[in-house]
Amino acid sequence: MRKQHHKGWNEIKTNDSWAIFKIMGEFVNGFEKMSKIGPCISIFGSARTKPEDKYYKESVEVAKGIVEAGYGVITGGGPGIMEAGNKGAHLAGGTSVGLNIELPFEQHDNPYIDSDKCLDFDYFFVRKVMFVKYSQGFVVMPGGFGTLDELFEAITLIQTNKIEKFPIILYGTDFWEGILDWIKSTVLDKFGNISATDLDLIHLVDTSEEVIEILDAFYKQYRLSPNF
């Protein structure tokens, strides 16, 4: 019985080793395609948001404004807010990128992604590298765990100087105000687990005009370039 267990463990280790080549392939394909897209802003948000929702409609307008300001748009490639972001970019005639992830539910490519800029990923961590490396800023609409994951990963990488700074724009006071209040009152003031300066790049807005103003103001000071 112990021999059998040992054999099974060796098979797992062998499979892990071969997975490296699949992971490497996703990185190579992603780097080759994303290096050609030009300056882009990522829009994050819930896959469950319906077209009649106000945040879907506002995401379309935000994406249009981003394109008119000279950037392309990157989303997670799926439905909901992601679809709205790609739709706005497409309607404005701009670059529309989708970084799709294979999931058992919810996720499918939306029809507004440029045909040569739709990438499929099996690994969340590879996809997240593409978002951070090739985005000049994050616009974060209301969302769920995936949206929060992308948000806090970006904040952590900037906080630890692993990537260059870029603006992180939280869209929707009614959604984000509570978590920002908690971060300031509890994480910062009560426990001292972050520094006040860690919050400097986070902006809370409610209009597409504010998004563009923040991006323009930031990139008057900093050059546009890929991260890492």
pLDDT of residue 96 exceeding 80, the answer is: yes
pLDDT of residue 7 exceeding 60, the answer is: no
d(CA 228, CA 219): 18
Q: Are 98 and 110 in contact (CB under 8 A)?
A: yes
Residue 204 DSSP SS3: strand
Find tokens 């896959």 and name the residue. 47
d(CA 138, CA 161): 17
Residue 25 DSSP SS3: helix
Residue 29 lies in a domain: yes
Residue 24 lies in a domain: yes
Q: What is the mean pLDDT of residues 199-222?
A: 95
Cα dist from 81 to 70, 190, 210, 220, whole Å: 21, 34, 18, 28
Residue 151 lies in a domain: yes
pLDDT of residue 149 exceeding 90, the answer is: yes
pLDDT averaged over the chain? Answer: 92
Q: Please give the pLDDT value at position 81.
A: 98
Find tokens 């409609």 and name the residue. 57
Q: Please give the pLDDT value at position 215.
A: 96
Q: How confident is the model at residue 5 (pLDDT cuts 50, 70, 90)?
A: low
Report the amino acid identity of residue 29.
N
Q: Please give the pLDDT value at position 16.
A: 83
Largest CA distance in the chain: 67
Q: What is the mean pLDDT of residues 177-199?
A: 97
Q: Are 169 and 138 in contact (CB under 8 A)?
A: yes
Q: Please give the pLDDT value at position 9.
A: 60
| Among 1-10, 29-38, 94-103, 150-159, the least confident range | 1-10
- Beta-carbon contacts of 214 under 8 Å, excluding residues fewer than 6 positions away, are 137, 167, 169, 203, 205
Q: Please give the pLDDT value at position 138.
A: 98
Residue 215 lies in a domain: yes
Residue 224 lies in a domain: no
Residue 226 lies in a domain: no
pLDDT digits (tens, 9 = 90+) for 99-137: 999 877 656 789 999 999 999 999 999 999 999 999 999
Q: How confident is the model at residue 228 (pLDDT cuts 50, 70, 90)?
A: low
Q: Please give the pLDDT value at position 77.
A: 96
Q: How many domains does the chain have?
A: 1
pLDDT of residue 6 exceeding 60, the answer is: no
Residue 227 lies in a domain: no
d(CA 169, CA 153): 14
* Domain residue limits at 174: 2-219
- Beta-carbon contacts of 34 under 8 Å, excluding residues fewer than 6 positions away, are 97, 119, 130, 133, 134
CA angle 149, 150, 151 (to 5 degrees): 90
Q: Please give the pLDDT value at position 11.
A: 62
Q: What is the mean pLDDT of residues 169-181?
A: 98
Residue 137 lies in a domain: yes
CATH number of the structural domain spanning residue 213: 3.40.50.450
Q: Are 40 and 73 in contact (CB under 8 A)?
A: yes
Cα dist from 48 to 8, 81, 141, 144, 147, whole Å: 40, 8, 12, 9, 12
Handedness of CA 3, 9, 15, 20 (dihedral sign): negative
